[in-house]
Amino acid sequence: MKKHIVLLPGDGIGPEVTKAAKRVLETTAEQFGHTFTFETQDIGGAAIDHQGTPLPEDTLAACRKADGIVLGAVGGPKWEHLPGHLRPEKGLLGIRKQLGLFANLRPIKGFPSLLHASPLKREVVEGSDLLIVRELTGGLYFGEPRERRNQNTEVVDTLTYTRAEIERIVDQAFQSAQLRRRHLTSVDKANVLESSRMWREIVEEKKHDYPDVEVEHMLVDAAAMKLITNPTYFDVLVTENMFGDILSDEASVLTGSLGMLPSASIREDGLGLYEPVHGSAPDIAGQDKANPLAAILSAAMMLRYSFQMSEEADEVEAAVHAVLQDKYHTADLKVAGGIQVSGSVLANKVSEQMSSHDTTENIMRCYV
Ligand SMILES: NC(=O)c1ccc[n+]([C@@H]2O[C@H](COP(=O)([O-])OP(=O)(O)OC[C@H]3O[C@@H](n4cnc5c(N)ncnc54)[C@H](O)[C@@H]3O)[C@@H](O)[C@H]2O)c1
Ligand SMILES: CC(C)[C@H](C(=O)O)[C@@H](O)C(=O)O
Ligand SMILES: [Mg+2]
């Protein structure tokens, strides 16, 4: 099969992890007889430096034509002095919005060989396997007005959702739950926010369309606590944009590192932007220390969702599992008796593992 992939490396460790994902995609193409073509475009701080804007028209146009998009990360101290509308992060928010990528799927599952890498107790982490379905193009991130007022003595951000925006993400979450253990937790702050009360109403209406899914509501503060005290309680969580952002970084603790969490930002027709959950990590950028597995697993999600190549996705995930079983890891993961390697060496190991044809069953097949 032929597929055209747009790479958006961005800033900080973005280029390092994107290169790793590309490497693994090239190995996939070779192994399965596909033709993947790649095109690199600017986004974020790199785009500001090269083209004066965080989201150039060319980038958007290329993404609209792509079969899949892989993004590294955007942002960093170099651009922090810029006004809000010119910041690198605006490029990422812009592309999500412009492409209508309203659903961000963030699977969190501990690899068995990393159970001790989490600072949480093994008995808490063991068996955790959850999916955060984060609404991605609404809420506080996009509401207007957002401004300073009255000579800088007041500030306003706006949380808006339309009924249709909530309905489509709730549908997505119910459908994800149907593919998994059929337990959905809708997370909100309905004791305070009107938007959350409408969210709850919609979940209550929608549940009749999915009678095989058990659904409940949970307040976000309680959910934050339960995520790290009793993570195996959860299957699918669905929540609005900002709550989803925060809860997913928190949940990464279950896996041992933020560098392990992949994500898919998708829309109904199958186009997707595949992005690790982590940021540009300026503290380790340029040192080949970044964990490339979140980006590699994001590429596996692209194979599964946008390209419908589930065998290929299984192969990548199984190779990641095998490399971790062999005790290879980057510096962010604390693995007793492990073999610490650079990010590029770890990516090569995954690639070699795939080429060795040694990989068997994918017991990590959690990325739905
Ligand atoms: N999707 C994105 O592009 C994205 C996501 C989050 C943050 N950001 C941006 O990134 C910049 C830095 O943000 P931050 O420091 O709060 O968050 P961050 O996710 O970049 O880093 C948080 C911590 O996790 C570590 N880390 C992150 N990814 C890692 C990896 N793959 N391997 C090893 N360690 C890793 C970092 O070294 C750091 O200690 C900011 O400008 C922020 O806006 C971008
Ligand atoms: C960089 C930032 C705008 C972004 C977000 O909040 O969506 C990031 O934290 C993420 O999780 O993808
Ligand atoms: Mg985030």
Q: How confident is the model at residue 364 (pLDDT cuts 50, 70, 90)?
A: low
Write down the H helix ranges in 252-329: 293-305, 310-325
> How far apart are the C-alpha atoms of 200 and 8, rounded to whole Å?
36
Q: Rounded to an integer, what distance in angstroms lies between the CA atom of residue 252 and that of residue 109?
A: 9
Is pLDDT above 60 for 301? yes
pLDDT(134) > 60: yes
User: Which residues fall inside 5 Å of ion ligand 3, going by CB?
Assistant: 245
Q: Whose CA is nearest to atom 2 of ligand 2?
A: 89
What sign does the CA torsion over 359, 348, 71, 28 have?
A: negative
Per-residue confidence band for 168, with pLDDT thresholds at 50, 70 and 90: very high
pLDDT value, residue 307: 97
For a pLDDT cut of 90, what percent of the chain falls above it?
93
Of the two residues 8 and 334, the one the predictor is more confident about is: 8
| pTM of the complete model | 0.97
Domain 1-110+256-368 superfamily per CATH: Isopropylmalate Dehydrogenase (3.40.718.10)
Residues 65-121 have pLDDT tens digits of 999 999 999 999 999 999 888 899 999 999 999 999 999 999 999 888 999 999 999
245, 328, 332, 349: which is the annotated catalytic residue? 245
**What CATH superfamily classification does 119-130+139-253 receive?**
Isopropylmalate Dehydrogenase (3.40.718.10)
Domains 1-110+256-368 and 119-130+139-253 share a fold: yes
129 labelled catalytic = no
Evaluate if residue 360 carries a pLDDT over 90.
Answer: no
Query: What pLDDT score was predicted for residue 98?
Result: 98
Determine the pLDDT at residue 96.
98
Q: What is the pLDDT of residues 50-76, one digit of tens each?
A: 999 999 999 999 999 999 999 999 999
Structure tokens at 299: 């590429």
245 catalytic per annotation: yes
Give the tens place of pLDDT for each residue, 268-298. Answer: 999 999 999 999 999 999 999 999 999 999 9
Q: What is the distance between the alpha carbons of residues 238 and 247, in angstroms, rounded to a whole number?
A: 11
Taking 60 as the threshold, does the pLDDT of residue 205 lie above it? Answer: yes
The residues pairing with 70 across neighbouring beta strands, listed in sequence order, are 7, 274
Q: Where are the domains of the chain?
A: 1-110+256-368, 119-130+139-253
The whole-number pLDDT of residue 110 equals 87
**pLDDT, position 336:** 87
HEC sequence for 328-360: EECCCCCCCCCEECCHHHHHHHHHHHHHCCCCC
Look at strands 339-340 and 328-329 and give their pairing: parallel
Q: What is the pLDDT of residue 359?
A: 58
What is the number of the ligand 2 atom nearest to the C-alpha of 245? Answer: 11
Please check the confidence at residue 357 and state whether its pLDDT lies above 90.
no
Closest ligand to residue 278's CA: 1
pLDDT at 165: 98
Q: Mean pLDDT over all residues of the chain?
A: 96
pLDDT of residue 368 exceeding 60: no
Work out the burial of residue 152: count CB atoms within 10 Å of its CB; fewer than 13 is exposed, 13-18 middle, 19 or more buried. exposed
C-alpha of 292 from chain center = 13
Compute the distance between CA of residue 83 and CA of residue 85 in angstroms, rounded to an integer: 6
Interior/surface letters 14-48, b for 16+ CB within 10 angstroms, e for the rest = bbbbbbbbbbbbebbbeeeebebebeebbbbbbbb
250 lines ligand 2 (CB under 6 A): no
pLDDT in tens, 3-52: 999 999 999 999 999 999 999 999 999 999 999 999 999 999 999 999 99
